[in-house]
Amino acid sequence: MAFDGTVRINEDLLPHLRLTDQQIAEGIEKTRQKVLRRVGEFQEEQPFPDFSRKAVILVDDGLASGFTLLVAVEAIRRLGTRKIIIAVPTGSADRVRKVAREVEALYCANIRGGWGFAVAEAYRRWVDLEEEEAVRLFKDYQARFQKTPIPPATH
C-alpha cells in the first residue's frame, strides 16, 4: 500500500496463502492504518511535494518481489510525475526486468538469479531498522538539509 491508498496484491501468491476475503480485507486495513501513521510521522504538517512534470528517483535496499516499488511507482505516476528512475543495490533478475518495464530507468549494481532471492543475503552486514530509528534518522537529515539547501537542478 502506498501513501495515497494505492493497493497492489500479489495475485500469484494469494491462492497459496488460502486467506479468506475477510482476512485479506483486515490485512489491507491494518496496512492502511500503518501507512497513514508513517506518513504522519515522516511528513508531519508539511505539504506533499509537487511532483508534476518532474523526475523522481525511488531508492530501495533491494528488489525481491518488487511489490513495494511497483505500488510506489503507481502512486507516484498518479501525481503527474514526468519520469521515474529506480535505484537499488541488488535485485532478483526476473523482478528487475519486471519493474524496469514500468519506469523510465532502473539501476541495479548486483543482479542475482535463482529462486528465493532475499535482499538481506546480498549484503555482508544486514541490520533491520526499527521504525523509530528510521524516523529519527530522517528528521536528523531533514534538519541538516533545511540548513544547507541544495540548489535546484538545471536541465
pLDDT digits (tens, 9 = 90+) for 42-60: 887 777 888 888 899 999 9
pTM of full prediction above 0.85? no
Residue 30 sits in which domain range?
A: 1-44
Total structural domains in the chain? 2
pLDDT on residue 67? 87
**90 and 30 in a common domain:** no
* CATH assignment of the domain containing 61: 3.40.50.2020
**112 and 55 in a common domain:** yes
- The amino acid at residue 90 is T
**86 and 103 in a common domain:** yes
**66 and 19 in a common domain:** no
76 located within any domain: yes
**22 and 3 in a common domain:** yes
2/39 Cα distance (integer angstroms): 10
Q: Report residue 117: phi and psi, to 5°.
A: -60, 130
**57 and 15 in a common domain:** no
153 located within any domain: no
pLDDT on residue 102? 96
135 located within any domain: no
**36 and 58 in a common domain:** no
**112 and 65 in a common domain:** yes
**88 and 28 in a common domain:** no
pLDDT on residue 147? 60
Q: Are strands 83-92 and 105-112 parallel, antiparallel or unpaired?
A: parallel
62/153 Cα distance (integer angstroms): 27
129 located within any domain: no
Digit-coded pLDDT (tens) for 86-127 = 999 999 999 999 999 999 999 999 999 877 778 998 899 999
139 located within any domain: no
**115 and 64 in a common domain:** yes
**67 and 31 in a common domain:** no
